[in-house]
C-alpha cells in the first residue's frame, strides 16, 4: 500500500499587492461621469423648482428640492474643480460621489465617481523647460 500524500505546507507567500497610483485614463472618465451627474441632478432640481413654484409648499417637498439643489451644486463644484485641475478637486469629486450615492439610483453613478476621483491624476502636469 502506498504512503498517504503529504500534507500541504501551513505557510504561503501572498502575491505582491498592485500599486494604487494615479491612472492616466481616469480623468476624462471622471469628467464624463461628473457631467452626467450634474445633468441628472440639475434636471431633478429644475423639476423640484417647478414643483415648488407650482404650489408644492409642504416641508417634505421643499426639503427634497433643497437636497437636490445641494447635490447639483456639489456636482458642479466637483466638475469645475476637475476641469481646472484645482487642488481640492479630488475631495470635491469624492464628496459628490458619496452624496449622489445617497439617492435611489445614485450608486450607479456614485461608485464610479468615488473610484475615479480617488485614482485619477488631477494635478497639473509638469512642464518641461
- The string of pLDDT tens digits covering residues 53-70 is 999 889 999 999 999 999
What is the rounded distance in angstroms from the CA atom of residue 118 to the CA atom of residue 93? 8
Residue 14 forms part of a structural domain? no
What is the rounded distance in angstroms from the CA atom of residue 67 to the CA atom of residue 45? 8
Residue 5 forms part of a structural domain? no
Residue-range definition of the domain harbouring residue 69? 26-119
Per the structure, how many domains does the chain have?
Answer: 1
Matching residue, cell 449622489: 100
pLDDT tens digits in sequence order for the chain, 129 residues long: 777 777 766 676 777 777 767 777 899 999 999 999 999 999 999 999 999 999 988 999 999 999 999 999 999 999 999 999 999 999 999 999 999 999 887 889 999 999 999 988 888 777 765
Residue 30 forms part of a structural domain? yes
Please tell me the pTM assigned to this model.
0.79
Matching residue, cell 434636471: 43
Residue 13 forms part of a structural domain? no
pLDDT of residue 101: 95
Spatial CA neighbour of 100 closest among 116, 111, 92: 111
Amino acid at each position: 500500500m502506498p504512503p498517504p500524500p503529504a500534507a500541504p505546507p501551513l505557510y504561503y507567500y501572498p502575491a505582491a499587492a498592485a500599486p494604487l497610483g494615479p491612472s492616466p485614463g481616469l480623468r476624462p472618465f471622471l469628467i464624463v461621469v461628473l457631467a452626467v451627474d450634474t445633468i441628472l441632478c440639475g434636471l431633478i432640481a429644475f423639476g423640484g423648482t417647478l414643483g415648488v413654484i407650482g404650489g408644492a409648499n409642504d416641508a417634505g417637498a421643499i426639503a427634497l428640492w433643497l437636497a437636490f439643489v445641494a447635490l447639483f451644486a456639489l456636482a458642479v463644484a466637483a466638475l469645475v474643480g476637475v476641469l481646472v485641475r484645482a487642488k481640492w478637486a479630488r475631495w470635491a469629486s469624492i464628496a459628490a460621489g458619496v452624496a449622489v450615492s445617497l439617492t435611489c439610483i445614485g450608486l450607479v453613478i456614485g461608485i464610479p465617481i468615488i473610484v475615479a476621483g480617488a485614482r485619477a491624476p488631477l494635478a497639473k502636469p509638469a512642464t518641461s523647460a
